[in-house]
Amino acid sequence: MKTIIEPFRIKVVEPIRMTTGGERERILRDAGFNPFLIHADDVLIDLLTDSGTGAMSSLQWSGVMRGDESYAGARSWFALEAKVRELTGFEHILPTHQGRASERILFELLGGPGKVVPNNNHFDTTRANVEHSGAQAVDLVIEEGRHPRSRHPFKGNMDLARLEALLEAEGTKAGSREGAERGARRSDEGTKTRNDEHNAAAAPRLRARVPLVMCTITNNSGGGQPVSLENLRGVRALCDRYGVPFFLDACRFAENAYFIKLREPGQQNRSVREIVREIFDLADGATISAKKDGLVNIGGLLLIRDKELMRRADELLILTEGYVTYGGLAGRDLEAMAQGFEEVVHEDYLQYRIRSTAYLGEKLLAAGIQIVEPPGGHAIYIDAAAFCPHIPPAQFPGQALVCGLYRHAGIRAVEIGSVMFGGPGRPPPAMELVRLAIPRRVYTQSHIDYVVEAIIELYGQRDRLRGLEIIEQPPTLRHFTARFREL
């Protein structure tokens, strides 16, 4: 059949408070024209983020009741550990309260002044944690990933030529021999060899200024675009050649794997589980916010193969998050995560998830509203520069669109452009976007139809949208708390 239905029934509902245009005008002004500062009760449709905003399943809620709250060695931890090992093949797993906690630990250990961390695109907290350590975050997405109208199937891909040039310039050939030997052993002996070789921590590595290479799947900053398996293999090969560890920012690993199954030649007959496993087999470590593809409201993971690095991460986790079998989480959270990591690789769920996001994007494109094409996995990204051509980047067209959308229809979205990634001393971002992030298993098609209608109506009045200027801002991650004034 042509119609793809939600692969679930609704058991509990939460009422939405309707607001008037006059109320929303007052609320927006009181919030300093920043949707992050609006109370959630004053939002009709909340598309600010897909992080931790999804609905859990009945099995996840039953897991909450089973949660073992023992301080150390809780059975809920061992349930989560077993599921993550099954999915990823990683032996060394640390729980954290969310993805940015994993990032903080990782970059406190591997970052530092003078270091350079390449990625396809760093998202906001990843970049902030890299820079907080004193290191430099460098984005190396392919050129097609910088243009909303490009229909490249894997616009999240790393530009391998630019990555190689960076490793050549910042790394050292003296450290590449071990990487080449590691790559040869991996080809001959498989994943088990990778775990064994990383436990032999005595071999020194000359990594110069590049302590690791990261790749974000899917690429959140660039429109929720996937990374191909071929590209991930290419990154792995370069990391082996130069003796540099390869880490994933794997918040949306299942969505990325499903795109690979749909779009990459030779992958159609493989299961999502098989593709997920190969993705993780290519990596030396990963940070994961379980608030995305873990299908939970709180939680994260840090995966590391290197035994010595894991030991140091254990020590830092105990110091700042909690013991290594709970990592700042309750046992009930661990149980819900274990079940969520099972459900997220179910292909009927992923078909519904990816198709329902595409539905929103296709409706907007049909109305002449430019988005990042093709539609991403977790969100639709409106090209704010095209939507508001009369507002220059210095006056934040994305933020103007976000404010207009709330003012017109009570819909909360987020700017991904000069507010989020701009600022003193920073180069201008490649795109001015507004992200409509769709919470998992929360909204029905009628909710999305309301969003489509509201955006189309606003598009007809777009010349009324006004630019903004910042009147208050913190030194980092300014988009969360900055306040604005309309011009």
Confidence of residue 201 (pLDDT cuts 50, 70, 90): very low
Reading the block at residue 244, the tokens are 């540099």
Residue 171 pLDDT level (bands cut at 50, 70, 90): low
Task: Indicate the pLDDT class of residue 188, thresholds 50, 70 and 90.
Answer: very low
Find out whether 406 and 20 touch, Cβ atoms under 8 Å.
no
**Range among 227-236, 419-428, 477-486 with highest mean pLDDT value:** 227-236
Region 59-343: CATH code = 3.40.640.10
Say if residue 410 is exposed, middle or buried (CB neighbours under 10 Å; 0-12, 13-18, 19+). buried
Please name the residues in contact with 302: beta carbons below 8 A apart, sequence gap of 6 or more: 93, 94, 96, 102, 105, 106, 285, 286, 287, 288, 313, 317
Q: Comparing 205-219, 391-405, 430-444, which segment has the lowest mean pLDDT?
A: 205-219
Q: How many CB atoms lie within 10 A of CB 27?
A: 19
**Preceding peptide of 481 cis, ω within 30°:** no
Answer whether residue 178 shows pLDDT above 60. Answer: no
Say if residue 121's pLDDT is above 90. Answer: yes
Task: Please tell me the distance from the alpha carbon of residue 393 to that of residue 398, in angstroms, as a whole number.
Answer: 8
Report pLDDT digits (tens) over 339-350: 999 999 999 999
* pLDDT surpasses 90 at 185: no
Which residue is associated with the tokens 């000069």?
A: 418
Contact (Cβ atoms closer than 8 angstroms) between residue 133 and residue 108: yes
Q: Is the pLDDT of residue 196 over 50?
A: no
pLDDT confidence of residue 152: 95
Domain assignments of the chain as residue spans, ordered by start: 21-50+346-486, 59-343
Assess whether pLDDT exceeds 90 at residue 385: yes
Tell me the C-alpha to C-alpha distance, in Å, between residue 342 and each of 60, 329, 335, 345: 10, 19, 11, 6
Tokens of 130: 């890299």
Q: What is the pLDDT of residue 207?
A: 54
% of the chain residues with pLDDT over 90: 84
Q: pLDDT higher for 185 or 202? A: 185
Q: Report pLDDT for 183.
A: 40
Overall average pLDDT of the 409-415 stretch: 96
Mean residue pLDDT across the chain: 91
pLDDT at 427: 82
Q: Kindly tell me if the per-residue pLDDT of 418 is higher than 50.
A: yes
CATH superfamily, region 21-50+346-486? Aspartate Aminotransferase, domain 1 (3.90.1150.10)
326-330 mean pLDDT: 95
CA dihedral defined by 25, 31, 33, 34, rounded to 10 degrees?
A: -130
Give the angle 389-406-437 at the CA atoms, nearest 5°.
85
When pLDDT is cut at 50, 70 and 90, the band that residue 221 belongs to is confident
Sign of the torsion angle spanned by Cα atoms 144, 145, 150, 153? positive
pLDDT band at 193 (very low <50, low <70, confident <90, very high): very low
Rg (CA), the chain: 22
pLDDT at residue number 124:
83
Residue pLDDT, tens place only, 51-65:
999 999 999 999 999
Mean pLDDT of 172-201: 41
Q: What does residue 455 show for φ and ψ, rounded to 5 degrees?
A: -70, -40
Residue range 436-470, pLDDT digits in tens: 999 999 999 999 999 999 999 999 999 999 999 99
